[in-house]
A and B are shown apart, each in its own frame.
Chain A
């Protein structure tokens, strides 16, 4: 069983790698590319710690094969900040202390960023449903939701709305 050669784009950078068919995208990110920000929690699509954005849609990278990335545009937690400038969602997670152990945080931030890519005006209910696929066992969800809604307010202000 030969390795597959995959050409893709990760966080805006063209990327090539070799992987075996049974390797998940999460395996490839962490083990082949050294992008260890995406976490392996449940490996069954329930916890969302491995959330990435594929062609604009959030996906559990544990439920995607590495070979499927061919020709796709992938965004991971490593690409959310612009250099030293944190994304508003990241900044607000800090300000609201929306994390304790931090294991679920990359998944939450990627998922929340994708929500705010599609709408800057989510209601609390919309934000809660959107993030229902991300589990946190430390903080409870309240601070997380406040951080996301606050980030949306910042982004609305930046966008002049």
Chain B
């Protein structure tokens, strides 16, 4: 691999300083499961790599009264093993669990999955559907809170400025009768990239009518997309045949897919609708059961 400089700072501000002070491209390293592949292929040629895993808090999960605070570099194995998180948001954990093999899970983080900015990133739809916010550290001690959906701007592109990086994810805790689900569609059962991914997060009233919803599709547009029209199809309704049909149609309309070896535009569009229906059914069932 090409030569590169390396720093493993012990504090957030030190990390910001080295990132901001780099004359060439500087890359943050979390689990490296995207970054190292890209370094080797030459797709990215950074002058500096900054490993954030030595910074206290960057790995770990903390529960507060109204939210989970998750260190940006926390690996998948730690997220899945956290019973409170898994119980609160099974859909987020379903997305995390789909990322690669057990070997990849030992390293892959939410921050890397989001900031790699692949439209097919599996943890992202359910993370966005839960109205997660990200804490972004930057020069001058700045800390800004950004909704997760505003981090990616296109394939491989983020809204982060020079010297900025994610330090935490804040995932709100579920309200009564609120739950989520995530499914991806791939041509095989393991180790593939989503043809379509869908995260749905719903809140129901005591009678099972939806009072709030977020439907997020992955792999069908340059970034994950929040489908407001699909959420509107759910809100005020139970999950009957009419509602499912409107959800399906709204999901299909929201896609701007491409044709590649995993599927054509027509196929992805159709699968988006089917998947939205399936995921909504799971999310409704879970929400009703709590």
Q: Which residues of A line the B interface, CB within 8 A?
A: 1, 4, 20-24, 43-46, 48, 51, 54, 57-60, 62-65, 67-68, 70, 111, 129-134
Known: A21-B5, A24-B36. Is A54-B106 also a contact (CB below 8 A)? yes
Report the Cα distance A67→B33, complex, angstroms.
Answer: 16
- Chain B residues 77 to 106 lying within 8 A of chain A, measured CB to CB, are 77, 100-106
Cβ contact of A63, chosen from B4, B32, B51, cutoff 8 A: B32
A–B Cβ pairs within 8 angstroms, 21 of them: A1-B5, A4-B6, A21-B6, A22-B3, A44-B37, A45-B101, A45-B103, A48-B103, A60-B104, A63-B31, A63-B32, A63-B36, A65-B29, A65-B49, A67-B6, A67-B8, A67-B51, A111-B102, A129-B102, A133-B104, A133-B191
Report the Cα distance A65→B100, complex, angstroms.
Answer: 19
Encode contact with A along B257-282: 1 for CB under 8 Å, 0 otherwise.
Answer: 00000000000000000000000000
- Chain B residues 3 to 41 lying within 8 A of chain A, measured CB to CB, are 3-6, 8, 29, 31-33, 36-37, 39-41
Whether A57 pairs with B106 at a CB distance below 8 angstroms is yes
In the complex, residue of chain B having the shortest beta-carbon distance to the beta carbon of A43: B40
Report the Cα distance A51→B104, complex, angstroms.
Answer: 10
The 3 A-B pairs at the shortest CB distance, nearest first, are namely: A133-B101, A57-B106, A21-B6
Cβ contact of B103, chosen from A22, A51, A70, cutoff 8 A: A51
Encode contact with A along B38-77: 1 for CB under 8 Å, 0 otherwise.
Answer: 0111000000010101000000000000000000000101
Whether B6 pairs with A44 at a CB distance below 8 angstroms is no
Whether A45 pairs with B33 at a CB distance below 8 angstroms is yes
Asked if B289 is at the interface (CB within 8 A of a chain A CB), the reply is no
Asked if B237 is at the interface (CB within 8 A of a chain A CB), the reply is no
- New A-B contacts (20) at CB < 8 Å, excluding given A133-B104, A134-B101: A21-B4, A23-B1, A24-B36, A45-B37, A45-B100, A57-B75, A57-B77, A57-B106, A57-B107, A63-B33, A63-B37, A64-B36, A64-B107, A65-B36, A67-B8, A68-B32, A130-B102, A131-B102, A133-B100, A133-B102
Interface centre among B29, B40, B77, B101 (most CB of A within 10 A): B101
Shortest CB-to-CB span from B287 to chain A, Å, is 27
Report the Cα distance A68→B53, complex, angstroms.
Answer: 9
Determine the chain A residues whose CB is within 8 A of the CB of B32 once the complex forms.
Answer: 63-65, 68
Whether B49 pairs with A21 at a CB distance below 8 angstroms is yes
Asked if B190 is at the interface (CB within 8 A of a chain A CB), the reply is yes
Interface size on B, residues (CB 8 A): 31
Interface centre among B32, B33, B190 (most CB of A within 10 A): B32
Whether A60 pairs with B6 at a CB distance below 8 angstroms is no
Cβ contact of A59, chosen from B8, B49, B107, B190, cutoff 8 A: B107
Report the Cα distance A65→B33, complex, angstroms.
Answer: 11
Determine the chain A residues whose CB is within 8 A of the CB of B49 once the complex forms.
Answer: 21, 65
Shortest CB-to-CB span from B74 to chain A, Å, is 12
Determine the chain A residues whose CB is within 8 A of the CB of B77 once the complex forms.
Answer: 57
Determine the chain B residues whose CB is within 8 A of the CB of A24 once the complex forms.
Answer: 1, 36
Report the Cα distance A133→B101, complex, angstroms.
Answer: 5
Report the Cα distance A133→B106, complex, angstroms.
Answer: 12
Asked if B2 is at the interface (CB within 8 A of a chain A CB), the reply is yes
